[in-house]
Amino acid sequence: MRKIATEEAFSIPEIADALEEVAATPSLDSDYWLVDAIYGAESKSPLRSKLLDLEDERLAEMDANGVSMHLLSLTAPGVQMFDADTACGLAELANDRLAEVVRRHPDRFAGLATFAPHAPRRAAEEMARAIESLHLNGFIVNSHTNNEYLDNRKYWPILEAAEDLDRCVYIHPRGPSAGLVGPFRDYGLAGATWGYGIEVSTHALRLILSGVLDRFPRLQLCIGHMGEAIPFWLWRIDNRWRMSTVPQRGKPLELTPSEYFKRNFVITTSGQENPLALDYSIKTLGIDNVLWAIDHPYQPTAPAVSFMDNAPVTEEEREKLYHLNAERVFHII
């Protein structure tokens, strides 16, 4: 069975070096800890070289585990901690390199293009180039940029480009934004344990509740980690949205929150290998809305494969989870 993993991280030397510069100046940004741990001068983490490796150990590990393809994306926080000009240049470089490796291994790699949200017009141009000239498969964005979210009108050119190009935007985690991060600063909460999911689920709900999805009804979005807990919460979101003591603000919505979630979002299983959560998500969202992912190199490959090999689904459903849904959503041939 073809196995396409859909949240697989990579980097390029120029961006790793630029993040080493970021690590050299301690800051209050909630991604500083991660950047320092991976790219800091003192770092002994193997992650930097695993992120830079595409054609050696990565392909060998894919082969050893029967993984057909990585849908590659520039690792978090992408270019979103750099100033806008630097970010645009590095995004273009990363997309060029990504397209080259996909061209060398079209059956093993596909790619999500990156862009600099803080330069929205140039981002939209780069998005068009990434699809029309580089033939990449969609987009990745690492949640907030300078503590702002994509529902903000200044980012609408990005949403418009994704909708016009008919390509999905994967909203990947980064640490919580400045206004959200307070209580996450202790105990390592800002990372993947909890903060990443709260950051992305908040972002997704901003897109839903702002009415932006009435303006861009065909926008396709993807979130990882079994939907960042949103599937589990949908009933209550619908219920309280309708009846909340705290009034809804702004334009009335055309659909209920769960209807937007089912219409505009798909989820992946990155780093969530709980069969009950998978079963629940499939029953809540439908089998066509769930895609397999590993989250290489942050999660090991073998357990992600055995999780999906042993998932309590029919073989027809497993085909959808492992590759048919990814082929449809990300235009993978």
Beta bridge partners of 246: none
CA 246, distance to chain mean position in Å, is 31
* Interface stretch with ligand 1DF, choices 109-117, 190-198, 254-262, 320-328 (CB under 6 A): 190-198
Whether 295 is catalytic is yes
Quick check: 194 binds ligand 1DF (CB under 6 A)?
no
Strand order in the sheet with 109-113: 4-10, 69-74, 109-113, 138-142, 169-172, 221-223, 265-268, 290-291
Quick check: 298 binds ligand 1DF (CB under 6 A)?
yes
Burial, 20: exposed, middle or buried (Cβ in 10 Å; 0-12, 13-18, 19+)? middle
Distance between CA 324 and CA 285 in Å, rounded? 16
Nearest residue (beta carbon) to ligand 1DF:
192
Quick check: 92 binds Mn ion (CB under 5 A)?
no
Quick check: 94 binds ligand 1DF (CB under 6 A)?
no
Quick check: 9 binds ligand 1DF (CB under 6 A)?
yes
The site partner of 266 among ligand 1DF, Mn ion, none (C-beta below 5 to 8 Å per kind) is: none
Look up residue 317 and give its amino acid.
E
Distance between CA 318 and CA 329 in Å, rounded? 16
* Cβ distance to ligand 1DF smaller for residue 197 or 257: 197
Quick check: 223 binds ligand 1DF (CB under 6 A)?
no
Among 142, 295, 296, 308, binds Mn ion (CB under 5 A): 295
* Cβ distance to Mn ion smaller for residue 34 or 88: 34
Quick check: 157 binds ligand 1DF (CB under 6 A)?
no
Burial, 164: exposed, middle or buried (Cβ in 10 Å; 0-12, 13-18, 19+)? middle
Catalytic residues: 295
